Chain A
Amino acid sequence: MYRSHVLVCGGTGCTSSGSEEIIQALQAEIDKNGLTSEVSVVKTGCHGLCALGPIMIVYPEASFYSMVKVEDIPEIVSEHLLKGRVVTRLLYNETVTEDGMKSLSDTAFYKKQHRIALRNCGVINPENIDEYIGTDGYQALGKVLTEMTPDEVIQVVLDSGLRGRGGAGFPTGRKWQMARNFVQDGGQKYVCCNADEGDPGAFMDRSVLEGDPHVVLEAMTIAGYAIGASQGYIYVRAEYPIAVERLRIAIGQAREYGLLGNNIFGTDFSFDIDLRLGAGAFVCGEETALMTSIEGNRGEPRPRPPFPAVKGLFARPTILNNVETYANIPQIILHGANWFASMGTEKSKGTKVFALGGKINNTGLVEIPMGTTLREVIEEIGGGIPDGKKFKAAQTGGPSGGCIPAEHYDVPIDYDNLLAIGSMMGSGGLIVMDEDNCMVDIAKFFLEFTVDESCGKCTPCRVGTKRMYEMLDKITKGQATLEDLDKLEELCYYIKENALCGLGQTAPNPVLSTLRYFRDEYVAHVVEKRCPAGVCKALLSYTIDADKCKGCTLCARNCPANAITGAVKEPHVIDQSKCIKCGACMEKCRFSAISKK
């Protein structure tokens, strides 16, 4: 029996900042001090504060250590674990107050969060099914199989108002109902999980799979019971090796306990789940392409209708939900539809997980009730923008979404509000941009991604996105005309209406939303041949102010292109024909004599 639990984050973020070595050093040090039978080291999933990793929490005191290094381990063990003295210098500074330690849930980062999908992430050992069961795991499945009919299950999901967390926001209960109602031949149905998280900057599905894999298995089994399926598939990208490994372990444990397999809990219901690994193509996150890929074919979308609920995987009725959607299901079953529906806004219930990235202090993973404003997320939870810079826009929905400008900073975040202001919920990537980001450049970045990821099946997407990218490239190089802007806009609408699948239909969104809110920036590039944010290299020029230059030669010595000339103690000059606009000179100058325009 252990008197203390030391939780170390084993998510991808903390693993890459060295948590694996921390765990080994910690265990060795604990053994050395003879505490092996008293202190348990638990490798958990993501706590959300990835920017401060590796993260360690010591219970029962709930001391939250951040940026722990291997060198700190002997001190933590001898001071805290042996003598009971908290190592204050390693505490997350937000939890330190004048009169001691503040509870983690009172810190700005966690205060406004409400964890449902992430409730076990960072709390349990994801490789131990018993710990999941210890936090009410598989209780919902037990309740469903022994006390509820499939129709009752679907009714609860419908009443809860849960909508698809993959981005489109289709009511989950309706999807299940459609698949359940298809009973023409009594044949096989399938339950699929979309874990092919492809948006740049989004990592919430990965975190759920890494931190709480059993919740997905439990929810899929519930879904299987609800629609009458006996087989499930999780489609996960091979680029998530930790998630894949933990899913494998979880499936093995669930089978061993009889929570997957034949006659679960002694009932007539049987269900099993297999993994299918994707190679990381963005289009395979689109539901029809995903199913085509599971079938063993090249991942290309197919036209809808027929919808998957009628004719999906192997041409059988199929439901496909996102990881985060599933992560909500067991809690909804246990606490009831009203509990879930009491959170959020009128049409968007519950919570949403966002991956905060870009120009923000607390990079990481947050789960907030629907209806929280962007300002609360960025200023309070996210800790604001570094270096006192000004908020310019937030990008949601990845390559399918758009930018939300400062004028909509106080709009409550939900599915419908985001659509109304030209963006979308998407899977939950939230990239913050400040005054140093060029919106044309951002649009170009996403288009480049889409061009790369277009599967090539339909012409509007294959050719159209490429032409869009070329136009954007012209704009950023100052070679475009105002006519090109109109043509670009026209092409956007054409692709939106004619592309075969969601990837193509939403590909123009980053361009359309930046054109809507930041048209002046586009015009500045086209008419004035100027990049207001100072990003687009072709439009920049660096100059040295002769009055401020002391002739220290530092810039000349650091210029990689030898473009700067001048004698010692004389003002220097940049040769514009040689300058590669790297900005190294400006960074080095101690007299602020170099400016860019």
Chain B
Amino acid sequence: MKSLEELKAIRDRMQGQVGMRSEDDTQTRVVVGMATCGIASGARPVLTALSDLVQEKNLHNVSVTQTGCIGLCQFEPIVEVFEPGQEKVTYIKMTPEKAKDVVEQHLIQGRIVKDYIIPKTLG
């Protein structure tokens, strides 16, 4: 027998899942480069880490997705963060550990992780 509280707990848990199925332009998009170059340099664990962390932290307004080759293959794995109304932020040479920092500092606290972003002269 479920109580109202248990029902709310299921709802909160499921909202992260079902919430993805909307076309909401207030969403922050985290995009991982998953072309051959990206995959070869280890984009897959980064992608997995990002999507796991986003779900774990219940970040309902963040979607994690993948894209093809951005053209900066020497800097792969690359992760781009698109926040509505903000300039795109490009993180380079990512690892699952760095991904954790990006989720905690950038996506949750709103502070860009300066150490990991692409040098201005290249971006």
Q: Say yes or no: is B18 at the interface (Cβ < 8 Å to chain A).
A: yes
Q: Interface size for chain A: under 10, 10 to 19, 20 to 34, or 35 or more residues?
A: 35 or more
Q: A134-B14, A136-B11 are in contact. Are A60 and B20 (CB under 8 A)?
A: yes
Q: Mark B2-27, 1 if CB is under 8 A from A, else 0.
A: 11100100110111011111110001
Q: A83-B34, A103-B23 are in contact. Are A133 and B3 (CB under 8 A)?
A: no
Q: A84-B34, A131-B14, A131-B17 are in contact. Are A105 and B64 (CB under 8 A)?
A: no
Question: Which one of A59, A82, A130 lies within 8 Å of B21 (CB-CB)?
Answer: A59
**Residue with the highest number of chain B CB atoms closer than 10 Å, among A2, A105, A139:** A2
Q: Say yes or no: is B48 at the interface (Cβ < 8 Å to chain A).
A: yes
Distance (whole angstroms) from the CB of B80 to the closest CB of chain A: 11
Q: Say yes or no: is B66 at the interface (Cβ < 8 Å to chain A).
A: yes
Q: Which residues of B lie under 8 Å from residue A146 when comparing CB positions?
A: 4
Question: Which one of A135, A142, A257, A258 lies within 8 Å of B18 (CB-CB)?
Answer: A135
Binds A, one of B51-59, B83-91, B110-118: B51-59
Q: A40 to B63: give the CA distance in the assembly, Å.
A: 14
Q: A82 to B35: give the CA distance in the assembly, Å.
A: 8
Q: Are A142 and B48 in contact (CB under 8 A)?
A: no
Q: Are B51 and A3 in contact (CB under 8 A)?
A: yes
**Residue with the highest number of chain B CB atoms closer than 10 Å, among A37, A83, A142, A265:** A83
Q: A134 to B55: give the CA distance in the assembly, Å.
A: 14
Q: A61 to B51: give the CA distance in the assembly, Å.
A: 15
Question: Which one of A82, A130, A266 lies within 8 Å of B10 (CB-CB)?
Answer: A130
Q: A38 to B66: give the CA distance in the assembly, Å.
A: 12
Q: A142 to B9: give the CA distance in the assembly, Å.
A: 13
Q: A1-B55, A60-B20, A258-B1 are in contact. Are A133 and B65 (CB under 8 A)?
A: no
A residues 82-123 with Cβ under 8 Å of B? Answer: 82-85, 103-105, 123
Q: Which residues of A lie under 8 Å from residue B105 when comparing CB positions?
A: none
A34's nearest neighbour on chain B, judged by CB, is B44
B33's nearest neighbour on chain A, judged by CB, is A84
Q: Say yes or no: is B68 at the interface (Cβ < 8 Å to chain A).
A: yes
Q: Are B23 and A134 in contact (CB under 8 A)?
A: no
A61's nearest neighbour on chain B, judged by CB, is B65
Q: Which residues of B lie under 8 Å from residue A104 when comparing CB positions?
A: 23
Question: Which one of B15, B21, B56, B64 lies within 8 Å of A3 (CB-CB)?
Answer: B64
A residues 38-87 with Cβ under 8 Å of B? Answer: 38, 40, 57, 59-62, 82-85
Q: Are A7 and B21 in contact (CB under 8 A)?
A: yes
Q: A259 to B10: give the CA distance in the assembly, Å.
A: 13
Q: Mark A125-165, 1 if CB is under 8 A from B, else 0.
A: 00000110111111100100010000000000000000000
Q: A3-B47, A142-B7, A259-B2 are in contact. Are A123 and B18 (CB under 8 A)?
A: yes
Q: Are B7 and A139 in contact (CB under 8 A)?
A: yes
Q: A135 to B11: give the CA distance in the assembly, Å.
A: 7
Q: A259 to B20: give the CA distance in the assembly, Å.
A: 26
Q: Are A38 and B51 in contact (CB under 8 A)?
A: yes
Q: Are B2 and A2 in contact (CB under 8 A)?
A: no
A258's nearest neighbour on chain B, judged by CB, is B1
Q: Say yes or no: is A263 at the interface (Cβ < 8 Å to chain B).
A: yes
Interface residue SS majority, chain B? mixed
Q: Which residues of A lie under 8 Å from residue B31 when comparing CB positions?
A: 84
Distance (whole angstroms) from the CB of A143 to the closest CB of chain B: 9
Q: Are A5 and B11 in contact (CB under 8 A)?
A: no
Q: How many A-B residue pairs have CB under 8 A?
A: 101
B67's nearest neighbour on chain A, judged by CB, is A84
Q: A1-B56, A38-B48 are in contact. Are A130 and B14 (CB under 8 A)?
A: yes
Q: Which residues of A lie under 8 Å from residue B13 when comparing CB positions?
A: 130, 134
Q: Say yes or no: is B106 at the interface (Cβ < 8 Å to chain A).
A: no
Q: Are B34 and A134 in contact (CB under 8 A)?
A: no
Count of residues in B whose CB is under 8 Å from the partner chain? 37
B17's nearest neighbour on chain A, judged by CB, is A134
Question: Which one of A5, A38, A84, A133 lies within 8 Å of B7 (CB-CB)?
Answer: A133
Q: Are A60 and B27 in contact (CB under 8 A)?
A: yes
Q: A105 to B49: give the CA distance in the assembly, Å.
A: 31
Q: Say yes or no: is B100 at the interface (Cβ < 8 Å to chain A).
A: no
Q: Which residues of B lie under 8 Å from residue A479 when comparing CB positions?
A: none
Q: Say yes or no: is B29 at the interface (Cβ < 8 Å to chain A).
A: yes
Question: Which one of A2, A3, A84 lies within 8 Å of B68 (CB-CB)?
Answer: A84
Q: Are A131 and B18 in contact (CB under 8 A)?
A: yes
Distance (whole angstroms) from the CB of B28 to the closest CB of chain A: 11
Q: A2-B51, A133-B14, A134-B10 are in contact. Are A59 and B56 (CB under 8 A)?
A: no
Q: Say yes or no: is A15 at the interface (Cβ < 8 Å to chain B).
A: no
Question: Which one of B10, B21, B23, B51 lies within 8 Å of A1 (CB-CB)?
Answer: B51
Q: A136 to B23: give the CA distance in the assembly, Å.
A: 18
Q: A60-B27, A103-B23 are in contact. Are A85 and B68 (CB under 8 A)?
A: yes
Q: Which residues of B lie under 8 Å from residue A61 when comparing CB positions?
A: 65
Give chain A's interface residues, CB within 8 Å of chain B.
1-5, 7, 37-38, 40, 57, 59-62, 82-85, 103-105, 123-124, 130-131, 133-139, 142, 146, 257-259, 261, 263, 265-266
List 26 contacting pairs A-B, 8 Å CB cutoff, sorted by A. Answer: A1-B51, A1-B55, A2-B51, A3-B47, A40-B17, A60-B29, A60-B63, A61-B65, A62-B22, A84-B31, A84-B34, A84-B67, A85-B68, A103-B23, A104-B23, A130-B10, A133-B10, A134-B11, A134-B14, A134-B15, A134-B19, A137-B11, A138-B7, A258-B2, A265-B2, A266-B3
Give chain B's interface residues, CB within 8 Å of chain A.
1-4, 7, 10-11, 13-15, 17-23, 27, 29, 31-32, 34-35, 47-48, 50-52, 54-56, 63-68
Known: A5-B20, A40-B17. 18 other contacts (CB 8 A): A1-B51, A1-B54, A59-B21, A60-B20, A60-B29, A60-B63, A62-B23, A83-B34, A84-B32, A84-B65, A84-B68, A123-B18, A130-B14, A137-B11, A258-B2, A265-B2, A265-B3, A265-B4
